[in-house]
Structure 1
Amino acid sequence: MKISKIKTRVFKSNGFRIDASFHLSDGVVVRRKIAASPYKIMKVGDAANQIFYGNRAKRVYVQKRENGIPFLSSSDILQADLENVKLASKKYTPCIEQMRLQEGWILISRSGTIGNTAWATKQHAQKLASEHVIRIDPNNILRAGFVYAYLSSSYGHSLLTQGTFGAVIQHIEPDFVASLPIPQFPAKFQEKVDNLIKESARLREEANRFLNEAVSEFEKCLNPECYKREFCTSTVSTKQILKKFNRLDSHYQIAQKEFVKRRKRGLRYEKIGPKAEKIFVGNRGKRLYSKEGVPFLSSSDMMLFNALRYSKNISVNTPSLKMMQVHKNEILISRSGTVGNSVLIGDLLNKKAVSEHALRLLLDEQKIKPSYVFAYLNTEEGRELLQSLAYGSVIVTLGEDFVADIDLPILDEQIQRKIIQKINEYVWASDSAAEKESLAISLVEKEIDGWKV
């Protein structure tokens, strides 16, 4: 329940409306707060060269990376991994240049889940994005990183998602974004926030480089034919079916047979199961949401660049909370919906709660390092293997027993150490990038919190 005091002049300026639903709606409250700014108020459009969205032309998707350009949806722009997305044909997709992104732009989702923001890094640059993504090209009248942090704050998000009269908006246009008020904060404050956002972007790019180098090092030792995507048929013996969980689906049985058949000769494989302390799914019980508490991540939240930005909180009194909490060096694997995405828990997500839609892999570090297993799960072979394990018709699911049955390539110890070091650097850089972005946003929010209405 919300309670507030409204001054008489506010009633007068709003046609003497006295309904609480209007005066206490987020959009109205935030606009009132911004109007109380001690600094000059500008429009977002004044801080941009242009605000627009991409072309609506028909897209033709392809499978081969050399024939396509990564295409980002409005939800993809927030992801930590921007490579494993759909590929739009270079040859058959019209108006490609109108869809192309540039480094340093501010990206905003404009339909579906509206108002989510992303800073375009080098990883976004030259990729394509749908017309459901608004692009802001900053002109540096206000620092670009500051404008991004402002729109990403709780105040900016409310402005993007709530209309002037308190109504929830289902769709936003560039003109609407351009009309939003933004205070002209002091230059030193803007510089501090801008530096944090740009340092966050640099660390994120560095993290992606570490991950790509580790995965590339692993893939050099694998047979690329092992995960070649192609139509194939095969026969599977009854003995093989009984050995492989009595599964009759060709998606699984043929894939398993092909993986074994195409393995690189001389490379040793061992099951993940004996190297794990536990493979399990967290608590499925009722969750008690609260304003304060433990951050709670869905299986889609955990794949975001900054997983805590849009997460909910659950009460510390939630039953079986400890069963929901994850710990450093656990590997989380999305087990329903989009199957096979994986996350290695670092300091940032340590002791945070995660939904039952994430399968948890807790490894015995005396037998194998989690960083090494995580690197394999992010190779083409590892991703294809995880996806082949899924079962179900409408909602596909990944089971614990199938993950335990994965054959893990055991590389030379020197190569293992190199891969492990790269992944550890990746986790550190990812966590640091998210922390710096969160700090920049919180600085803006704390400043606005102090303004008296």
Structure 2
Amino acid sequence: MRVATINNSMISKGQMRMEGKFFLNETSLLCMPLERNADKCVTLETVADVMNPPVFKRQFCSPTERAVQYFQSSDVNIASESSSVFVYKPQAERIKAIVHKGDILVTGFGTIGNARLISRHQDGVCYANNVARIRTKGEVLNGYIYAFMASKYGSAQLNKNASGSVVRYIEAPGIKKVLIPNTRVSFQQEVDDLIQKSARLREEAADMLEKSKNLLKEKAGLDNLVSEDYDYYGHRSADRKVSCFSIKQKEITTTTINAFNYSRRILNTKSKIQSTVPLKEVLLYNDVFSTGSFPRVEVSGNNGIMLINQSDIFDAIIKGKRISKRRVKTDNLVEYGEVLIAGVGTLGDSEKFCHVIFANEDLVGQLVSGEFIRMKTTKEVTSGYLFAWLDTDYGFRLIRNTQAGTKLCRPIPRMLLEIPVPLIDSDSMQEIDRLVREAHTKRYQANCNERKAISMVEKEIESWTTSKKN
């Protein structure tokens, strides 16, 4: 049972609501320390401009100089800095949907309260209209504002002020009312320094991963793929040719009769890749594996063990969910350097299906769902190098080419193991492996700095309650 004393002023702010659940739910309880110490806070609108672009009909297009990358509300918390979806740039500029380095984004639709600090890699991209833009004024430190908005207290206020029942939402007018702790300048600077350091580490990591893939393709003599090099489901221009081909009966195997798996475009693309070995020859025991199936009974607090699903693993900071350890085997937890493939999903180009993950310090010792295809490499081909290859446009399209299914698709294991892996000179392979490992360590360090900054803000607010009790 939850018990708390509510004064008259809080009842007035609650529009004369009298039922206990309005004031004593999780969101309201987190808002109380700020509401009771409003004299120590300022509203967000006094320190930042907050806006949402108008609703617009998205004009999807091919990646040209008149196009700009487009991100949905669900992309706000992902680690990736790029998108395969493009919209018409003049339209996005006209309605002010373009974001810039230093902007703070907050989701106001569906899952409310996810936050992102825009890096230089996303300077000039377009986000959906239901993502609010926060731009700090004057000398206000945007790293400090971001840390608060990403904290449980920032998220709680957004969710408390949200409207709707089935699908909840909040836009700029409601977000402007958020109370921001007006703490001492030195404290704000310390938090801001941690967030800015985190942002720099993420930018450096993105640069290193891009460098590793470019080096691999350069040494393998491969150019970037164009849309004519593969089959896909998504936006296509009017001049794109229909993929139509015929094959001999003897070429059809017992593995599949799906035309997508026999794509002539992919066969031509494979012919460009020289000095290769099948994927199975670089894997430990010449095979992939998975975590397996187990019951998923959610538990509260820090009880049980954290489970990471496909919907969680691509986030910048992985949260997962806690499940009971009962009948869950914990002898197959993730080890450093594993390469994981998102093994189930749909074929939209914006979907994470068939994208790869490198297991860094954040994932070591974690329980991942059985939907991931997991790989451990031999000493001859390092896991960082394999990740870089599978993370290129070639690797992604080759994995997609092995899919089978209708609504939910999965790679065909036998075909997946035959994917070609190019072998380049040993020194370059080691350099690529080093870049991948260092990049993912930088991501881990960035997450540590961000968690520390958010924790500092939360502890500062919690100290207000403690000092009053004393």
The two structures share one fold, judged by TM-score above 0.5: yes
Q: SS in structure 2 opposite 1:450? A: helix
TM-aligned CA distance change 1:187 to 1:393, over 3 Å: same
CA–CA distance in structure 1, aligned partners of residues 424 and 201 of structure 2: 29
Amino acid at match of 1:133: V
5 Å-filtered alignment, 1:311-322, equals 311-315=320-324, 317-322=325-330
Residue 198 of structure 2 corresponds to 200
Please, which of 218, 238, 248 is the counterpart of residue 237 of structure 1? 248
Report the alpha carbon displacement of residue 164 of structure 1 after superposing the two structures with TM. Answer: 8.3
CA–CA distance in structure 1, aligned partners of residues 212 and 11 of structure 2: 63
CA–CA distance in structure 1, aligned partners of residues 434 and 450 of structure 2: 25
CA–CA distance in structure 2, aligned partners of residues 55 and 417 of structure 1: 49
2:420 is aligned with 1:407? yes
5 Å-filtered alignment, 1:47-446, equals 47-48=47-48, 50-66=49-65, 68-90=67-89, 93=91, 95-96=93-94, 98-140=96-138, 142-163=140-161, 170-222=168-220, 224=222, 227-230=225-228, 231-242=242-253, 246-255=255-264, 258-259=267-268, 262-264=271-273, 267-277=274-284, 278-290=287-299, 291-293=301-303, 294-308=305-319, 311-315=320-324, 317-322=325-330, 325-337=333-345, 338=351, 339-364=353-378, 366-446=379-459
CA–CA distance in structure 1, aligned partners of residues 28 and 403 of structure 2: 47
Q: Structure 2 length normalisation: TM-score?
A: 0.86
CA–CA distance in structure 2, aligned partners of residues 347 and 34 of structure 1: 35
Report the alpha carbon displacement of residue 283 of structure 1 after superposing the two structures with TM. Answer: 2.8
Amino acid at match of 1:217: L
CA–CA distance in structure 1, aligned partners of residues 125 and 224 of structure 2: 28
5 Å-filtered alignment, 1:11-50, equals 19-37=19-37, 40-48=40-48, 50=49
CA–CA distance in structure 2, aligned partners of residues 424 and 257 of structure 1: 30
Amino acid at match of 2:302: E
TM-aligned CA distance change 1:158 to 1:257, over 3 Å: closer
What do the CA deviations read for 1:381-436 (whole angstroms, capped 9, x no partner)? 11111111121111112243333221111111121122111111111111111111
> Unmatched 5+ residue regions in structure 2?
229-241, 346-350
Percent identical pairs in the alignment equals: 22
What do the CA deviations read for 1:147-200 (whole angstroms, capped 9, x no partner)? 111111111111111238998971111011101111201111111111111111
CA–CA distance in structure 2, aligned partners of residues 164 and 134 of structure 1: 13
TM-aligned CA distance change 1:286 to 1:96, over 3 Å: farther
Q: SS in structure 1 opposite 2:410? A: coil
CA–CA distance in structure 2, aligned partners of residues 17 and 110 of structure 1: 24
Do the aligned residues in 2 keep the contact of 1:96 with 1:128 (CA within 8 Å)?
A: no
TM-aligned CA distance change 1:157 to 1:76, over 3 Å: same
Q: SS in structure 1 opposite 2:86? A: strand
TM-aligned CA distance change 1:118 to 1:257, over 3 Å: closer
Q: Which moved more, 1:372-381 or 1:78-87?
A: 78-87
Amino acid at match of 1:419: I
Report the alpha carbon displacement of residue 201 of structure 1 after superposing the two structures with TM. Answer: 0.5
TM-aligned CA distance change 1:12 to 1:118, over 3 Å: closer
Report the alpha carbon displacement of residue 17 of structure 1 after superposing the two structures with TM. Answer: 5.9
Do the aligned residues in 2 keep the contact of 1:142 with 1:184 (CA within 8 Å)?
A: no
TM-aligned CA distance change 1:178 to 1:413, over 3 Å: same
TM-aligned CA distance change 1:378 to 1:42, over 3 Å: same
> Unmatched 5+ residue regions in structure 1?
none
TM-aligned CA distance change 1:38 to 1:221, over 3 Å: same
Amino acid at match of 1:269: T
Q: Which moved more, 1:247-256 or 1:130-139?
A: 247-256
What do the CA deviations read for 1:327-358 (whole angstroms, capped 9, x no partner)? 21111111112311111011121111222232
Q: Which moved more, 1:290-299 or 1:165-174?
A: 165-174
Q: SS in structure 2 opposite 1:62? A: coil
Amino acid at match of 1:320: V
CA–CA distance in structure 1, aligned partners of residues 419 and 246 of structure 2: 21
Report the alpha carbon displacement of residue 260 of structure 1 after superposing the two structures with TM. Answer: 5.9
TM-aligned CA distance change 1:442 to 1:413, over 3 Å: same
TM-aligned CA distance change 1:4 to 1:359, over 3 Å: farther
Residue 236 of structure 2 corresponds to none
Do the aligned residues in 1 keep the contact of 2:266 with 2:398 (CA within 8 Å)?
A: no
Do the aligned residues in 1 keep the contact of 2:162 with 2:168 (CA within 8 Å)?
A: no
TM-aligned CA distance change 1:75 to 1:261, over 3 Å: closer
TM-aligned CA distance change 1:82 to 1:164, over 3 Å: closer
Report the alpha carbon displacement of residue 96 of structure 1 after superposing the two structures with TM. Answer: 4.8
CA–CA distance in structure 2, aligned partners of residues 89 and 39 of structure 1: 46
CA–CA distance in structure 1, aligned partners of residues 162 and 219 of structure 2: 58
CA–CA distance in structure 1, aligned partners of residues 265 and 329 of structure 2: 37
TM-aligned CA distance change 1:168 to 1:441, over 3 Å: farther
Amino acid at match of 2:252: I
What do the CA deviations read for 1:98-145 (whole angstroms, capped 9, x no partner)? 121111111011212222111111122111112121100011554211
Q: SS in structure 2 opposite 1:281? A: coil
Q: Structure 1 length normalisation: TM-score?
A: 0.89
What do the CA deviations read for 1:357-393 (whole angstroms, capped 9, x no partner)? 32211222x2321000000011111111111112111
What do the CA deviations read for 1:215-267 (whole angstroms, capped 9, x no partner)? 1111223455684322433333333322xx53111111115852465324xx2
Amino acid at match of 1:279: V
Q: Which moved more, 1:110-119 or 1:166-175?
A: 166-175
